[in-house]
Amino acid sequence: MSFKTSLCGSASLIALAGAIALGLSAGPARAADPIKIGVIAEAQAIAGASIPQAAQLAADEINAKGGVDGRKIEIVTYDNHSSSADSVRAFQRAVNEDKVNAVITSYISEVVLALEPWAARLKTVMVTPGAASNEITKAVHKDYDKNKYTFHGYLTSASLALSVCDAAKDLLVDGKHMKTAVIMSEDAAWTKPLDVGYQECLPKIGLKVLDHIRFSPDTTDFTPIFNKIEASKPDVIITGISHVGVQPTVQWKNQQVPIPMFGISSQATNETFGKDTNNASEGVLYQGVSGPGLAITPKSLPFADAFKKKFGNYPSYAGYTSYDEVYYLADAIKRAGSTDSDKMVAALEKTDWEGTIGRVQFYGKDNQFTHGLKYGKGLITGAMLQWQDGKQVPVWPKEVAKGELKFPSFIKLTSK
């Protein structure tokens, strides 16, 4: 679906004046043409539904303030049905038929990795709001001239592991004196480097890894997995789950697994997760780039509240990033004075934008994560939230925390 916006009269004159001021060669009609951003996402998925919604909200806000030098932003959306093949077809249509100027796409790493060669072939700027695999940015680093059109608008798996470990050090090791962990991750492209990161950083913060379990995203019965974990008697389960979330969480509660879950759980970032799990989410700890009640920057709460007012629920993590991406794509186009892909790439590489998730800057050519978001204090660190009494409560970092750790009665904290 898409909407068309035509400008006339004084708006056209303003757009033309802006184009002349920027030194563009466009005539009056072209100067008023909208800037088209394609959004290819998992519109029916718990974590993906927020992507097109947040992008539209950002476009509406920008357009209400006059657009980009008089040009409105038009969001053209495509539901990829969580399919790489459907995503490729949508990308080709977006560029060749709908003539989009840039594409925001997917929270699934396999999808983004399938689209990266197409961004190169069609020389179209592509930003992901939720995929995490290190391979996305490594491809840019290995063949910059070919893959420079891809930007990683979410933390890489390596950075996510660091964020989880930084939070675990403060909350679990220092706060609860925990000493042991089991890693439980779905078998997917993004979790391979995530688990490598976990295995490296967890021992460094004082959590001995007792076991490492990878399971198929098609798993429906987690009983054997939880039984195996309980046999190891860890203090905590460190998770890497995104394509699944509801099923293991419901079974975790139903089976009264006495070990807390802490880590990445993408579905838990959406406010609907409590209802989706019939409140089995109570006590689940998850990493997020922002969240309800979490003032990462002055822009975080106004966006979350505006999103809830418009769509009825707070966004998933990919909603925050998608919203930011529309803004800094618009900013890059304004600074570039053009929608030419190469000029947009050069402008995006100089991005220094305060968004809802922190200060957005991208790693350069010399970094192995070229075009990945910079991680660290003063930039983006992520946060840890916990489901408490049906709400998502920020518990880390302490400067923005709104509550202390709180677990359901079946959780037994073994370490003192």
pLDDT for 416 equals 45
What three-state secondary structure class fits 168?
helix
Report pLDDT for 413.
84
User: What number of CA atoms fall less than 13 Å from residue 335's CA on the CB side?
Assistant: 18
Comparing 9-155+297-360 with 158-288+382-396, is the CATH topology the same? Answer: yes
pLDDT confidence of residue 414: 64
For the packed helices 157-168 and 191-205, what is the interaxial angle rounded to 10 degrees?
A: 30
Query: For residue 131, what are its two tokens?
Result: 């995929």
Q: Is the pLDDT of residue 62 over 80?
A: yes
Interval 81-110: pLDDT, tens: 999 999 999 999 999 999 999 999 999 999
Stretch 136-155: mean pLDDT, rounded?
A: 97
pLDDT at residue 7, rounded to an integer: 38
Q: Per residue in 216-239, pLDDT tens? A: 989 999 999 999 999 999 999 999
Q: Which one, of 101, 97, 95, lies nearest residue 115 by Cα?
A: 95
pLDDT at 19: 41
Residue corresponding to tokens 């992520």: 382
Percent of the chain with pLDDT over 90: 78
pLDDT tens digits for 287-336? 999 988 899 999 999 999 999 999 999 998 999 999 999 999 999 999 99
Q: What is the CATH topology of the domain spanning 158-288+382-396?
A: Rossmann fold (3.40.50)
Burial of 327-356, coded b for 16+ CB within 10 Å and e otherwise, reads bbbbbbbbbbbbbebeebbebbbebebebb
Please report the pLDDT score of residue 1 as a whole number: 46
- C-beta of residue 165 within 8 angstroms of C-beta of residue 384: no
pLDDT at 170 over 70: yes
What's the mean pLDDT when you consider all of the chain?
Answer: 90
The residue ranking higher by pLDDT, 382 or 75, is 75
C-alpha span between 247 and 273 (Å, rounded): 11
Kindly report, residue by residue over 328-373, the tens digit of the pLDDT: 999 999 999 999 999 999 999 999 999 999 999 999 999 999 999 9
Residue that wins the pLDDT comparison between 1 and 229: 229
Q: Domain spans of the chain?
A: 9-155+297-360, 158-288+382-396
The predicted pLDDT at position 245 comes to 76
Predicted local distance difference test score (pLDDT) of residue 399: 87
Phi, psi of 211 (to 5 degrees): -160, 160
Q: What is the pLDDT of residue 5?
A: 40
CB atoms under 10 Å from CB of 410, counted, come to 14
d(CA 212, CA 209) in angstroms, rounded, equals 7
**pLDDT tens for residues 252-290?**
999 999 999 999 998 888 888 888 888 889 999 999 999
**HSE-up (13 A, CA, CB side) for residue 388:** 14
Separation between Cα atoms, residue 4 and residue 102, nearest integer Å = 17
Number of residues that make up the chain = 416
Residue with tokens 């898409």: 2
Nearest alpha carbon to residue 196 among 281, 134, 106 = 134
Superfamily of domain 9-155+297-360: Response regulator (3.40.50.2300)
* Pair 222, 402: CB distance under 8 Å: no
Distance linking the first and last C-alpha atoms of the chain: 56
Q: What is the pLDDT of residue 15?
A: 44
Average pLDDT over residues 406-415: 84
pTM, 2 dp: 0.84
Q: d(Cα 60, Cα 196) in Å, to the nearest integer?
A: 41
